[in-house]
Amino acid sequence: MVLVITFFKFHFISFINIMTIKTLYLDKIISDEELETVKGQFLDSGYVHHFIDYDCDVFDSSTKQFIASFRKKRIKKSHLAWDNFKHLSVASRGRGASAGPIDPTSDYWKKRHLIKTSGFRTSYMVKGKVSKMSVNNQVASTPIGFYEKTKALGFDKPCRLTYHTSQALKQYESGKPYIHELDRWYKKIRPHEHKIQLDRSNLKKDFKIDHTAFSTITMNRNFRTAVHKDKGDFGHTAVLTCLEHGKYSGCLFMIPGYGIGIDLRMDDILVANVGLFHCNSELYTTKEQDEYNASLPKVFKGNSTVGTVGIYENYSRITMVSYLREKLIDC
C-alpha cells in the first residue's frame, strides 16, 4: 500500500511539474540590424516586455527557433560551487562588446592616456608607445576548463587547460559534482541540443569536462554585460547558473530582440541561445540591501583603486556560463 501511494505521489508531482512549465511563442520586436547599432552598449529594463521568473520554454513564433528554457530552484549543489569556485573569477580586459563602452572618466581608465578609443575598444600609451593590444573595460571574467589554440602578444598558446584552472586544480576537481548536476539538467531540459553537443565533445575527450557536454565555464563576477553575442560556442547553446553572496537587485538576463528579461538567481538554471543578442539590466542595491551587505563577512580582498568594474562591492553575483568551445575540435 505504501509503495502504491509513493508511486502515485511521485507521478502526480511529476505531472504537476510538467503542467506548470509554460511555453511562450514570441514575435521578434527588434531586428538584428537594429541591435547591431547598440552592440557594446547597456540597455535598461525598459526593454523588458516579458518578465520571466517561472518555469518556461521560449521559441520564436514564426520560425519556432529555440530561444531559452528556464527552470526555477532546481539546482541542489550551489553551495558546493560557491565554496570551490568563488575565487576563480579574476580581472580581464578581453571581453569585447560585453564589457560595455569605454568611459575615460572611470577609476580604471582615468589613470591612463587613452588613444584610438572607439566604442568598447581602446588603446593607450605605455612608456611613450602605443599599447600592443586594443583592450576593453576591465571586468571580473575568467574561463575555467579548456581553451583552444590562441595567439596573444605574438605568442602561440596551445590547446590547454586554462591557466586559472591549473592554478586551482583542487577546487576545480572538488566543484565538479556541481558541473555534473548542470549537465544532467541540460540533458533533461533540452535533450536534442545536449545530445548534439555531447557527441561533438566526445570527439575530443581530452579537452572536455569529464562526464559532461561542456569544455569550458566562463565565471563572471558582478559583471553586467552590454549588448553582445557569444562567440566560439558550439551550437550557440549555453547553460547559465548563478552563485550569490549578499543581496542585490536587477541584472536580469535580457534578450532584447524578443523583449525578454529572465530573473536568474541562485539554484535556478537557464539554457539559452547565446547566438542571439543578449545583455543584462542594471545591477544595483537598495539602501536596505547595502545595510544588510555591510554586516556580511568580507569574502574578497583587493585594491579598489585599481578600478575593476563591480568586484569591490560587499555582495557578489557570480554567473557561470557553461558551454563547448567550437574550435577545440581542431586540437
pLDDT level of residue 250 (50, 70, 90 thresholds): very high
**Rounded Cα–Cα distance for residues 274 and 276 (Å):** 5
Cα distances from 100 to residues 85, 110, 113, 294, 309, in angstroms, run 25, 16, 19, 28, 11
Burial class (CB in 10 A: 0-12, 13-18, 19+), 217: buried
The tens digit of pLDDT for each residue in 186-226 reads: 999 999 999 999 999 999 999 999 999 999 999 999 999 99
As a whole number of angstroms, the longest Cα–Cα distance in the chain is 83
CB 207 within 8 A of CB 21: no
**Rounded Cα–Cα distance for residues 318 and 328 (Å):** 25
| Range with the poorest average pLDDT among 8-22, 68-82, 221-235 | 8-22
Taking residue 52's Cβ as centre, other Cβ atoms within 10 Å add up to: 22
Question: Can you give the pTM of this predicted structure?
Answer: 0.92
**Rounded Cα–Cα distance for residues 308 and 300 (Å):** 13
Q: Give the DSSP letter string of 252-305.
A: -EEEGGGTEEE---TT-EEEEETTS-BEE--EE--HHHHHHHHTSPP-----GG
Mean local confidence (pLDDT), 285-304: 90
pLDDT level of residue 13 (50, 70, 90 thresholds): very low
Q: Is 10 left (phi over 0), alpha (psi -120 to 50) or beta?
A: alpha
Grid cell listed for 142: 575568467
Q: Which amino acid is at 112?
A: R
Sign of CA dihedral 233, 175, 191, 257: negative
User: What is the residue-averaged pLDDT of the chain?
Assistant: 92
User: What domains, with CATH codes, occur in the chain?
Assistant: 22-92+139-330 (3.60.130.30), 101-135 (no CATH)
Cell 545595510 appears where? 291
What is the model's pLDDT at position 19? 57
What is the model's pLDDT at position 293? 96
pLDDT level of residue 153 (50, 70, 90 thresholds): low
The residues facing 142 across adjacent strands are 219
What is the model's pLDDT at position 18? 52
CB 142 within 8 A of CB 123: no
pLDDT level of residue 17 (50, 70, 90 thresholds): low
SS3 per residue for 213-229 = CCCEEEEEECCCCCCEC
Mean local confidence (pLDDT), 74-102: 95
